[in-house]
Amino acid sequence: MESLGIAIQLLFVLIMVVVPVYCAFRRFSFLKLNLVSIPVMCLMIAIGAYWPHFYADLRLYLMDFDFDGMSDVERARNVAPELRELATKLYWSNMGIGWPLKAMIGMVLLLPYPTAVWVLSLVLRKVRDVACKKHT
């Protein structure tokens, strides 16, 4: 069950990395690259920030965890004995800064990525053009 969560998170990261690179090597203009890749990246960041919270709640629900309990014992009373420690750990893992703040921080940090990919693709094209002209 945990492997599925990791695989889905890796898929989100892969999409965030590949979309700007694909657009840059398709020779999109700077504006078009940003208009395509930034919304896709923002969507993937938002989903990727929400996914761990959703997935932990889903796993707790499937364990028959009681979210309305007042203590750890009350919350885990319907959970199978071998899963009680895991259920309590999952419940407390959702505490801390919320997923909207994680998404906002991720968007701020990854906003320059499409521009960096575009500049790098320009540099690689110029180097390739100069190298091809020297050999002809």
Question: What total number of domains does the chain contain?
Answer: 1
pTM of the model: 0.77
pLDDT of 17-55, one tens digit each?
999 999 998 989 999 999 999 999 999 999 989 988 898
Place of tokens 């993937």: 44
Helix (H, G, I), strand (E, B) or coil at 1: coil
Distance CA 109, CA 30 (A): 19
In a domain? residue 23? no
Instruction: Give residue-wise pLDDT tens across range 57-108.
Output: 898 898 888 888 888 888 888 888 888 888 888 888 888 888 899 999 999 9
Q: Judge whether residue 136 has pLDDT over 70.
A: no
The range of the structural domain enclosing residue 90 comes to 1-12+39-109
Q: Is residue 66 part of a domain?
A: yes
Q: Is residue 3 part of a domain?
A: yes
Report the alpha-carbon distance of residue 124 to residue 61 in Å, rounded.
Answer: 50
What is the predicted pLDDT for the residue at 34? 92
